A and B are shown apart, each in its own frame.
Chain A
Amino acid sequence: MNRISKVFQRLSTNNEKALIPYITAGDPSLELTKKLVFQLEKSGADIIELGIPFSDPMADGPTIQRASERALANNVSLRDVLDLTSEIRMHTEIPIILFGYYNPFFTYGAEKFSRDAKEAGVDGVLIVDLPPEEVDELKVYVDKDSLDIIFLIAPTSNEERIKLITKKASGFIYYVSVTGVTGARTSLDNHIEEYVAKVKELTDLPVGVGFGISTPEQARTVAIWADGVIVGSAIVKIIEENLNSPDMLTKVGQFVRRLKRGIG
């Protein structure tokens, strides 16, 4: 069994939920990303999502857009993030998912990416703009290398689409809690419970919920319904507010600990 499934299985036997933080790789530097990953793990993260910076992050709100711009100012590439993952992998077994837009992966080459990602110790990929209709050109390779391929399901997805997606998905399902872009929001969408229940009816894969979750209280609420909670912009914001502060790691750690306590 791979690392992602192992984590969900361990958590589920203990009746716990997964905390899945997102950070953009290379924001503000690859060196700090490495330290942040260790800090996230120490503070209670169960799975890490590493964002691959992209010049045109269409599904992201301003916070992650700026993170992407900071990383690109350092010319951080997919190759760099694979190298970073290899380094991180020497010290930890925490599952790592690469989260990004298709073009950098496509340009790298699907077959080569899959091979190199496996070798680097990547566990899964989530490519926002690669829906099940287009995924096969990548999926043939990641299946061969037994990487998980994680898909988004949205409030707009009907039953037919949920079935189509879960047929192609592995690892877990990422339920997008709002119709919109990433970014902290003050309140949760009213329909999350209902939709997550619908997805869980149609698949045995664990379901994580993300987009807009920004407080420990929101995380706690979502964790009642889902198997995992994904928090991105709220963490990236702390990084952004502490770009030149020696307290960045501590502050991120404190916040993640509060999130983890929240979801118990």
Chain B
Amino acid sequence: MLPDKKGHFGIYGGRYVAETLMPALLELEESYYRYKDDREFQQELNYYLREYVGRETPLYLAERLTRRLGGANIYLKREDLCHTGAHKINNTLGQIILAKKMGKTRIIAETGAGQHGVATATVAAMFGLECEIYMGVEDIKRQSLNVFRMKLLGARVQPVSSGTNTLKDAMNEAMRDWVTNIYNTFYIIGSVAGPHPYPMMVRDFQSVIGKETKRQILEVEKRLPDHLIACVGGGSNSMGLFYPFRDDKEVEMVGVEAAGFGINTGKHAASILDGSVGVLHGSKTYLLQDENGQIKHTHSIAAGLDYPGVGPEHSYFHDIGRVKYASVTDKEALDGFRLLSITEGIIPALESAHAIAYTMKLAPKLDKEKVIIVNLSGRGDKDMNTVAEALGVSL
């Protein structure tokens, strides 16, 4: 079972943090192991997942999209229908219940697209905990709607203007806050990234996606899917879908990274496809870095994918060949965004549109009996400004 006792997935993962944080990570790990199989904890989590988030989410056969692409049957796992509009809340709910059990009174989080920030602010409001969200000034600009939502939810949004002014810098700042307020603060990391136990814990909380999907597809198709497709930023929605299928060898899994303006332009966020192994934000994993080990600027039209690293278990799955990684450009993602909107009446998040765009390439090549499941990780309401700008429309 991975990770090992020190949080390693093969050579990846681990706990590369300053000593001040180590005891907090050990405490967190211990608490997580204590509660993870605790009946009461699981009952509370499942209660809120059902009654508050609205799970289970549908596995929807996208017939018109399927017909349009003319190949495999395409199912959408509708994480966009979760309360707050993305999969992120599956994880924030799990972590905040743990925070409460641990007696923490203050919640912090980083956010890129703002979806994790909103999901954190939401559960903090619901549980009555003080909440502070770190967000790069670049992201604050392009996701202003979500900034407003977080504020309405009672969170303080701290603008971060250092480095590249995006998600990685927000994460640096959240780490700085945590190390300063270590005794009363719980840091809710939003993806399968960061130091152990976060990659494992977030994977477990997000695995509800894959568990439901497996049950649902077996019910309607009486068999496992041929392909699973999900976008990869830090890698939580993809890991959540993939993980319960990892031992089902016949299921091919594809993680779609953001190719931005194109891999060859250097302006992208495809950490696995174009990166090299390094250490950032507490874990060893594939990173976009220069020859001196400095982290590179990244670009994606989807703020939630605009991150120079990836969860360590993805690096491991890549190396052992269990998951295949591909990429799509901003432009292709916009095509996916529009196609899903007009064929199915579902406006996807730009992040999820990357998974749709890859499906547009794959589905036509497959027989009509094949089954593809796409993780629709979020809805596109937050992206109206970005998409309007990209299409040259003024709102």
Please give the residue numbers on chain A whose beta carbons come within 8 Å of chain B beta carbons, in ascending order.
54-59, 61, 65, 69, 72, 75, 77-79, 101-108, 128-131, 133-134, 151-158, 161, 165, 176, 179-181
Query: Contacts A58-B175, A59-B179: A176 and B15 contacting too (C-beta < 8 A)?
Result: no
Nearest residue, chain B, Cβ from A152: B19
Please give the residue numbers on chain B whose beta carbons come within 8 Å of chain A beta carbons, in ascending order.
6, 14-24, 162-163, 168-169, 172, 175-176, 179-183, 276, 278-282, 284, 287, 289, 291-295
Nearest residue, chain A, Cβ from B162: A65
Specify which chain A residues have a CB less than 8 angstroms from the CB of B168 in the assembled complex: 56
Specify which chain B residues have a CB less than 8 angstroms from the CB of A108 in the assembled complex: 292-293
B293 touches A104 (CB 8 A): yes
Distance between A60 CB and nearest chain B CB, rounded to angstroms: 8
CA distance A115 to B205 in the complex (A): 44
B294 touches A179 (CB 8 A): no
Q: Please indicate which of the listed interface residues B168, B176, B181 has the most CB atoms of chain A within 10 Å of its own CB.
A: B176
Distance between A174 CB and nearest chain B CB, rounded to angstroms: 9
The 7 closest A-B pairs by CB, nearest first: A107-B293, A104-B293, A154-B20, A77-B292, A180-B180, A152-B19, A103-B293
B14 touches A156 (CB 8 A): no
A58 touches B281 (CB 8 A): yes
A181 touches B19 (CB 8 A): no
Q: Please indicate which of the listed interface residues A55, A103, A158, A180 has the most CB atoms of chain B within 10 Å of its own CB.
A: A55
Query: Contacts A58-B281, A179-B182, A180-B179: A107 and B22 contacting too (C-beta < 8 A)?
Result: no
CA distance A110 to B377 in the complex (A): 39
Nearest residue, chain B, Cβ from A174: B19
B281 touches A107 (CB 8 A): no
B14 touches A133 (CB 8 A): yes
CA distance A104 to B280 in the complex (A): 10
Q: Please indicate which of the listed interface residues B17, B180, B182, B281 has the most CB atoms of chain A within 10 Å of its own CB.
A: B17
B172 touches A131 (CB 8 A): no
Specify which chain A residues have a CB less than 8 angstroms from the CB of B18 in the assembled complex: 58-59, 128-129, 131, 152, 154, 176
Nearest residue, chain B, Cβ from A101: B279
Specify which chain B residues have a CB less than 8 angstroms from the CB of A77 in the assembled complex: 292
B279 touches A103 (CB 8 A): yes
Q: Please indicate which of the listed interface residues A72, A128, A131, A153 has the most CB atoms of chain B within 10 Å of its own CB.
A: A131
Specify which chain B residues have a CB less than 8 angstroms from the CB of A59 in the assembled complex: 18, 176, 179
A131's partner among B19, B169, B276, B284 (CB-CB below 8 A) is: B19
CA distance A131 to B180 in the complex (A): 18
CA distance A15 to B310 in the complex (A): 51
B16's partner among A55, A72, A134, A161 (CB-CB below 8 A) is: A134
Specify which chain B residues have a CB less than 8 angstroms from the CB of A58 in the assembled complex: 18, 172, 175-176, 281
CA distance A76 to B293 in the complex (A): 11
- Can you identify 11 A-B contacts, CB atoms within 8 angstroms? A56-B169, A56-B295, A61-B176, A107-B276, A131-B19, A134-B15, A161-B19, A165-B19, A176-B18, A179-B182, A181-B180
A55 touches B294 (CB 8 A): yes
Specify which chain A residues have a CB less than 8 angstroms from the CB of B6 in the assembled complex: 133-134
CA distance A98 to B55 in the complex (A): 52
B23 touches A54 (CB 8 A): no
CA distance A103 to B283 in the complex (A): 10
Q: Please indicate which of the listed interface residues A75, A108, A129, A130 has the most CB atoms of chain B within 10 Å of its own CB.
A: A129
Nearest residue, chain B, Cβ from A108: B293
CA distance A152 to B293 in the complex (A): 22
B292 touches A56 (CB 8 A): no
CA distance A103 to B293 in the complex (A): 6
B19 touches A102 (CB 8 A): no
A179 touches B179 (CB 8 A): yes
Specify which chain A residues have a CB less than 8 angstroms from the CB of B284 in the assembled complex: 106
A156 touches B293 (CB 8 A): no
A106 touches B279 (CB 8 A): yes
Distance between B296 CB and nearest chain A CB, rounded to angstroms: 8
Specify which chain A residues have a CB less than 8 angstroms from the CB of B276 in the assembled complex: 107
Distance between B17 CB and nearest chain A CB, rounded to angstroms: 6
Distance between A68 CB and nearest chain B CB, rounded to angstroms: 10
Specify which chain B residues have a CB less than 8 angstroms from the CB of A75 in the assembled complex: 292
A179 touches B180 (CB 8 A): yes
B182 touches A153 (CB 8 A): no
Specify which chain B residues have a CB less than 8 angstroms from the CB of A105 in the assembled complex: 293
Query: Contacts A103-B279, A106-B278, A131-B19: A181 and B14 contacting too (C-beta < 8 A)?
Result: no
A104 touches B176 (CB 8 A): no
Q: Please indicate which of the listed interface residues B6, B24, B279, B291 has the most CB atoms of chain A within 10 Å of its own CB.
A: B279
CA distance A102 to B295 in the complex (A): 12
Specify which chain A residues have a CB less than 8 angstroms from the CB of B17 in the assembled complex: 129, 131
Nearest residue, chain A, Cβ from B292: A77
Specify which chain B residues have a CB less than 8 angstroms from the CB of A128 in the assembled complex: 18
Specify which chain B residues have a CB less than 8 angstroms from the CB of A156 in the assembled complex: 19-24, 182
Distance between B112 CB and nearest chain A CB, rounded to angstroms: 15
A129 touches B279 (CB 8 A): yes
Nearest residue, chain A, Cβ from B23: A156
CA distance A165 to B163 in the complex (A): 32
A155 touches B282 (CB 8 A): no
Nearest residue, chain A, Cβ from B15: A133
A55 touches B291 (CB 8 A): no
B19 touches A157 (CB 8 A): yes
CA distance A54 to B182 in the complex (A): 24
A155 touches B279 (CB 8 A): no
Specify which chain B residues have a CB less than 8 angstroms from the CB of A158 in the assembled complex: 23
A181 touches B176 (CB 8 A): yes
CA distance A102 to B17 in the complex (A): 10
